[in-house]
Amino acid sequence: MKITVIGAGRWGSFIAWYLDHIGKDVSLYGREDSSNMKRFRETGGNGIIQLEKTTKLIYDLKEIEDSDIIIISIPSQKLRDLMEELREYSLKNKIFILCMKGIEISTRKRLSQVVSEYVDYSNRIAVWIGPGHPQEFYRGVPNCMVIDSLYEDCKYYLVNEFSSELIRFYYGNDLVGNEIGAAAKNVIGIAAGALDGMNLASLKGALMSRGTREVSRLIEGMGGNPFSAYGLCHLGDYEATVFSKFSQNRKFGECLVTGEDYNKLAEGYYTAKAMVALGEKYHVDLPITQMVYDVCYNERDPKDALAQLFLREVKNEF
């Protein structure tokens, strides 16, 4: 089995390290002039992990033609551009795995739907999602994750091949719910960071409860299983997103309130915009998502936005 990981950011590089760690033949692709690939060339590490010498660094996408499995871990809004690049290569009978979370803003499509527009029918598409941070995995802290696909044989094959003492994989059974739930948790992470910035961390319990309920309504509206929101794709990922110091979305939300600059990727910023559009399309009320959207895109004061949540019409909890 030959595997290529596309994307040398913190998740892509961790995945390459992990798969090498469990004995797979792994290459990591990145642009030759990228700062991440430069660091790996010079030091073998990126400040989070140290790659083994058995992990090959590649800079030409044509080399992925020899891979059996292609794992993609890049910013969600750049996925379509990548798939346009991959069109010129002979990619058949491959497994594409998306280890990334988001919704395409321009089309409101799930990421697996974007990939399906470009790949040959002989290929299979799967998603790899769930809680954890590369920093914690690398120091040996285990966690549970999910692999889901429309293709049952592909899903079972990947879970059996990739499971280890470090990551216990579960079989997903709701691709819509798992993709939407995974993307939406980053929006909740921004809201959690805003609460931290306002010294209102005690409200995180309510945020988690109501946030999960909100996302479950959207999943159901889109034809998925609403209970998926209570699984590893969403609620199960809250500790890593809502509380962890490593959560980039939580930190982004905190900086929104405190006025600090934040220059790292926070996928929830883009997902909030896509989710608001999905809520309108499927007639689903998404008050927390709307609050995050208003703060991010309409420059609304976070305290005012939070106050409006509490002044909403009183409803039954369920």
Distance CA 167, CA 140 (A): 10
Give 26's DSSP letter. Answer: E
Provide the total of helices (H) and of strands (E) in the chain, helices listed first.
Answer: 13, 8
Q: DSSP assignment, residue 305?
A: H
C-beta atoms surrounding 122 within 10 Å: 9
What DSSP assignment string belongs to 214-232?
A: HHHHHHHHTTS-GGGGGST
> CB within 8 A of 189, min separation 6: which ones?
241, 242, 247, 249, 250, 252, 253, 268
The beta strand positions in 49-191, using DSSP E, are 56-58, 69-72, 95-98, 124-129, 143-149, 167-171
Of 43, 72, 103, 77, nearest in space to 289 by CA: 103
Catalytic residue among 185, 204, 251, 273: 185
Strands 167-171, 143-149: pairing is: parallel
> Is-contact 284 223, C-beta < 8 A?
no
Q: Is 2 a catalytic residue?
A: no
CA 16 to CA 52: how far, in whole Å?
A: 9
Give CA–CA dist 310/235, Å, rounded.
Answer: 22
Q: Which residues are catalytic?
A: 185
